[in-house]
Each structure stands twice: as C-alpha cells, then as structure tokens.
Amino acid sequence: MKDIKEIINNNDIEELSYSILNKNLTFKKLRHSKSYYLMYAIENNGSIDIIKLLLPYFESLNYEYQKKYPLYAAIENHKFDIADLLLKEGANINALNSNKENILFYLYKKKN
C-alpha cells in the first residue's frame, strides 16, 4: 500500500478511495492523526476532492496542529475553496490557537 502522503501528493482520489474502502488505510490511523493528514493535504496542494474524502474521518475540524487549525492553513495557502468547505463543515472561524491568536492575528504575524 502506498503511503497516505504519497497518495495526497499525487492527488490520487481513486487510490485514496480504494485504500479507505478496502480498509488498507485504517480509519483508526486517520482518526489518531488528529488533523495531521488534513493539514498535510491542505498545505501540499491536495485537491478539494481529496479534502472532501478525508473530512468524514476527523472528529473535529478545530483541532490544532503546529499552532494552527486546518482553516488557518487553508487561508494561509490561499485555498479559499477549501476554507469555504471547512467553514460549511463546522470549522470555527473564531478559534484561538495555543498562543491565543485568532486567524487574523496569526496571519498578520506570519506576514511579518
């Protein structure tokens, strides 16, 4: 089986679907990754279809990974279609990271 990151890098929706459906890619592995694979997909040009396929396996879209949330990563990487999807699926635009930064302050600090 291919590595999840390799599948995401290739934007191979068929391989990801196949892996999930045939339980080669365990739900447990996705769930225990917290938001790692979701963040990886957002930050490494995963297509919106890849994101849509991954979303159901995450209990929350408001789980912080490396001082940011998936919504922060989508906006930071100019993936506004993905940001819109995340908001529709329950991402909290008012979430504060562990540095007590909201998304606007986080992005402002990243710029400077």
Q: What is the pLDDT along the chain (112 residues), one digit of tens a residue?
A: 577 888 899 999 998 888 777 765 555 566 556 668 889 999 999 999 999 999 988 878 888 888 889 999 999 999 999 999 999 999 999 999 899 998 889 888 887 6
Tokens representing 28 are: 């447990």
CATH 1.25.40.20 applies to domain 4-111: yes
Domain range summary for the chain, segments of one domain joined by +:
4-111
Give the span between the Cα atoms of 29 and 37, in whole angstroms. 10
Length of the chain: 112
Name, in order, each residue with C-beta under 8 angstroms of 27's C-beta and a sequence gap of 6 or more. 20, 57
